Amino acid sequence: MTQGAGDLPALAARRAADRPARLVGGPAALTHLRRDPVLRRVIRQIGPCTLRPARREPYEALVRAIAHQQVHGRAAEAILGRFVALFPGHDFPPAALVLEAPAETLRACGFSGAKVAAIRDIAEKSVAGLVPSRAAAARLGDDTLIERLVQIRGVGRWTVEMLLIFTLGRRDILPIDDFGVREGWKVAAGLDAQPKPRELAAIGEAWAPWRSIAAWYLWRAADAAKASGFKPQ
């Protein structure tokens, strides 16, 4: 399913600022990406990349992603606040305790039935070890993590890509199905229409191994264009 840049990247960026971590990119990334004339203009206008991964476990990141699906950011955060309050003494509800909670209790937080089923599946697969800890994930490749995590109910490739970029800090992820990334390339390149995912994938091959940084700049370009702050030429 095609997803939009929407609330998740913006929320992850805000939370990353609250919980500082190392920058994903640096001078080497910018030197490489500036070889692309379109990205060179974007980098000049947007400025330094401030992408920092949030320091949280993949289990928590996936539950938060489910909460934000098809819901405005503020509403999702309110629902998550009620969910966290069900489990006092924990920064975030442990998977084992979530599995013990009645579905009706989780529904009362504001989750739909489908989201409750997805959250319980994330919790079950976390307890079983399919969802790795942050430390274990560091030993797994991008493709391996995508292949594993899309087995979870309600979790698609785009959700895992957001996890890889905004939680695990992987530097070479290009979410070609993301509306905002494709819109960013459209406005930056001065195109009449967004590139198709396969077209963007082909274009982005030259950006490796820094495609996450390229995606970040394209999100910012799309945002700036909406605010009339980006000039493609």
The catalytic site residues sit at 178
Identify whether the C-beta of residue 216 lies closer than 8 Å to the C-beta of residue 49.
Answer: yes
Which is it for the CA torsion 120, 144, 136, 163, positive or negative?
negative
Residues 6+ apart with CB under 8 A from 65: 8, 155, 159, 162, 163
Identify whether the C-beta of residue 132 lies closer than 8 Å to the C-beta of residue 152.
Answer: no
Give the per-residue SS3 of 47-115. Answer: CCCCCCCCCCCHHHHHHHHHHHCCCCHHHHHHHHHHHHHCCCCCCCCCHHHHHHCCHHHHHCCCCCHHH
DSSP letters along 173-189, please? ---TTBHHHHHHHHHHH
Reported as type and span, the H/E element at residue 159 is helix 157-166
Q: What is the DSSP letter of 169?
A: -
Cα angle, residue 188 at apex, residues 187 and 190 outer, rounded to 5°: 60
